[in-house]
Chain A
């Protein structure tokens, strides 16, 4: 095959900061067609510093004293570029550019021994049990953020239906409120459900960090079982990107991202917007999908879901300055989002599907970001992120008419259309409940690098949620006496990071101090001094202070074999309902409730990248234990409390999750990739007498695998065609406690084994601006259940167009 010559233009911009004699050196790596090269390794001054280019081709090297340096840039498929650069005090003029020409060659491919490490590898070798999910490839395809997360090792997403429906995240067996989710380090509870992993497109996301069990100090929240942090793009280069996707079930997903930075002033405008819509009218069948006739006789049918549509719109708009003398980033802006989700059924699919029950939420939040490296003194970095605003959520369920799975009014045993006794679709009565929340979140991170080997980090997060409930269907009196619940959290984290033995040993030790205040305001009637009744607010506060701590270490036995271990005493603070109860559910306050505590341990290794000729492997694994005490729950019903009007949450249980995650990545040349991961765990609870029981309703064995293959010059010269094939496997599990050896009837409770295969292709046009992709999901139309027996969609087709322009 003929060699191709590529031109790589590297625009190096050198800017001088306030310090006297060090500079921050920023470069931009582009190929011949002015497309950024992602993941190129920049070796600065004979390994003194190593950087990789991001998806905009940008790399940054900090704190270089004035002088002459060698720079070496390598990337698979391109010939390594070596250059000597002189940096003197006069080279402060910004955007000094250098131009390099290099050619690809077969020898070039063999020559590339990557001594630098990718950002992904760097994160994964810090000692934490972490997955760094890169979204670059997925962003061109018809892949939602939740789907991407679900294929990551140790992560299980359980979604109650199609796009937009309620999601529970599980990390190594721990789920629900044990897992905290962040957007750029801000708890997602501040954003609400309209700006969530259901609605944010992958193209707005730079990467996703999944910390299992042990969470670093900069993600400060009471995360008992781990944290998922969505890192949004921080690009400051000029770019424009738009995409639209359309597919089965009338699903449309479109988004737009734009950035513009004025070179001279540094003034930056950034905007992102998304719109998602789906009818989610996929076909379902099963034991509860029936139509009921006269006398109550049932006929099974295959039905289309008819009350499951989802719509979300939202965006972020920011203006400010980037890469200027006084700030790396200073941006102010707002985030707005709105969603609408119809609800087809409750936790289970029953014979009484819902019609016209829906949820709406919206949020309008103002935000400020300030980031500065080497603030005041060299090595002192500040990161500040604040958010303030309001979010609302409402539930609408006012239709009393019963509907059947065929989407039409149901008939009763007499053959007449009928209304439910409870006057609504979900048992419990009609509702127009509104929950209004005022949220504030302030996150501050300060780090001080003492030298190459020692770093101290301080992080603080303040989070406040004021909650107010009302229901338009309730009387003024009932709404008047509806209590309000406020939650304030202050979490401080101190981290010390070190490295030794030529960077072979890395450690970080952290302590976290949690301060939570919950306040309940319940209006009540009291007699005033004149003897007349007045309504006063009874305000009660409860404070909880706790400490947690942990560490993560890694030791590179050889450059390609790293041992990783981490541990944390993690806690989850009782939430406002657990502390103060909930009037509607007759749950009363328990001010002595303690947090849930979990001792989390990880031990793993990372092997690779190991190469034999053109084959490259990486193998990594992690073994984990999570030991949870003082789980919070409601007590069991007994004859002593069955008629009690009031119950309290108590600390009553324990749980243990132990298991293993493993993954394998394989590449051949640069165009064939294979990955496989497996996650297996046991989630048990121990009785007072010491017997372990498996906790039911847990998908304990999952496997995912993907293949991708890229071809050049298909149809048109200089085009790329990428082919994808993925399989997802979830073993069967029961939502009933495991039974005796010879019992019968277990099948009723089983969620069957699931095995799904997807196919996809994306075609990059020669101009590199247009990418077209086609995905076929669940190609063999197999039944899929994320949650209990709630069925997900069968075979589906999606088509997507992406258009992007960079560096205009």
Chain B
């Protein structure tokens, strides 16, 4: 009896051991592409977003892979982050940032059990990303799905924001306004500690509030030239005051930005543009940049097409600076998906417009080169635009002097890195990007 018992125990154990061995996989892959860095070179980290269930959804993981500048420029080099890359630990598409020199990647995990965790990685080339610094989380301040961005202060600070809203009623039960409470946290990227956190109730004008307008989403903090104010982009929504239910088809107000003292994060005010109408909170890519003493900010969902708006050193919108992309490009319903200026005031803009083809994952995207000073823009024709080329989730542009590096690949198809010399407008085709089905590239870092 006992021996029978033991035999069965062994049998079960064997079955289970065999089963578990079968499921193990060994990934003893070593970098084959880790040449080290020559003086004058830098790392270019390519990021891709793998398909989850639908082409272009990017929900199957964010993968990164680094090559040298020279390799990135070499069309004979092939880069395959989906096969060989490092999976960034983030439950949903990571919002990546990189140091200005490209040697460090910063990430804050988006959603999941570690949502809000900040980690930085030293770039070692290929799939080698070494985690450095201690673990820290901004989830207690801005939730587990934080909207964060790196400030342009020499890679010192990251800022993340949160807004929660609540409808307010008077003693008779009538709608008064919708309160928007914002939370802003800044963190020391170098030392992995929280710098500051403040909360404020942010009001619109009494008239706007009475009509039911409120700030429903905020994102894309940026510092002014003096470094004493932080601008935060905003999206407005509206409730119907009669029912307190969400409204649709309402007049779009002038674009708005929340202005806070920095680094104290106190004294919030709201500034409003008379030029652009639409949201200034962007999506996943930095939406506002400092150039020549002013902050240039793109807006989205503008009924007249996206504008690039200018906020001057006096921390007010410049009502004389009118840079409308529809006019500059001669298209309708231009929508800036992502953009980046170089230090010369020339910028690369990823956009779509009314003429975009509806591709595998949404509207076809294009790149344009723009000049912030002359308020002009031209579509870059040297880059191919397949109907499935889609830039909605596009995040990263490497700026190396006056060169800007972008990724180009239709959803599920191979493509290339392209290097745009913003000074001359010359476009160079760089390394090949190897894609996998349903996936897309989201930029360079």
Contacts and interface: CB of A to CB of B under 8 A. Distances in A.
A742 B83 contact: yes
A535 to B, nearest CB: 8
A287 B12 contact: no
B55 to A, nearest CB: 7
Interface in A676-728: 676, 678, 685, 687-689, 691, 693, 695-696, 701, 703, 705, 707, 709, 727
A638 B193 contact: no
Interface residues of A, number: 88
Contacts of B138: 296
Contacts of A688: 55
Chain A interface mostly:
loop
Contacts of B187: 296
Given A586-B246, A636-B54, A736-B61, A676 B12 contact: yes
Given A422-B143, A687-B55, A744 B29 contact: yes
B8 A645 contact: no
A348 B112 contact: yes
A427 to B, nearest CB: 5
Given A640-B363, A746-B27, A737 B51 contact: yes
B360 to A, nearest CB: 8
Interface stretch (A433-441, A472-480, A485-493): A472-480
A250 interface: no
A709 B235 CA distance: 68
Interface string A404-441: 00000010110000101111000101000000000000
Interface string B133-146: 01111111111100
A736 B60 contact: yes
A693 B279 CA distance: 37
Interface string B46-87: 000011111111011101000000000000000010111111
B215 to A, nearest CB: 13
Nearest to A583: B245
What's the interface size class on B, roughly? 35 or more
Nearest to B64: A745
Contacts of A687: 51, 55, 437-438
Nearest to A631: B53
B7 to A, nearest CB: 10
Given A296-B137, A352-B139, A525-B243, A646 B173 contact: no
Interface of chain B: mostly helix, strand, loop or mixed: mixed
Nearest to B281: A643
B20 A640 contact: no
Nearest to A351: B137
A457 interface: no
Interface in B1-43: 1, 4-5, 8-9, 12, 15-16, 19-20, 23, 27, 29
Given A477-B244, A643-B300, A729-B19, A296 B194 contact: yes
Contacts of A295: 136, 193-194
Interface string A619-654: 000000000000000001111101101100000110
B248 interface: yes
Interface stretch (A261-269, A549-557, A747-755, A797-805): A747-755
Contacts of A480: 243
A672 B87 contact: no
Given A297-B193, A477-B174, A740-B83, A645 B246 contact: yes
B20 to A, nearest CB: 6
B167 interface: yes
Interface string A507-532: 00000000000000001110000000
Q: Which 6 A-B pairs have the closest CB atoms?
A: A737-B60, A745-B87, A413-B194, A295-B193, A740-B83, A638-B362
Interface of B: 1, 4-5, 8-9, 12, 15-16, 19-20, 23, 27, 29, 50-57, 59-61, 63, 80, 82-89, 91, 112-117, 127, 134-144, 162, 164, 166-167, 169, 173-175, 181-183, 187, 192-197, 199, 235, 237, 242-248, 279, 283, 300-301, 335, 337, 352, 361-363, 392, 412, 436-438
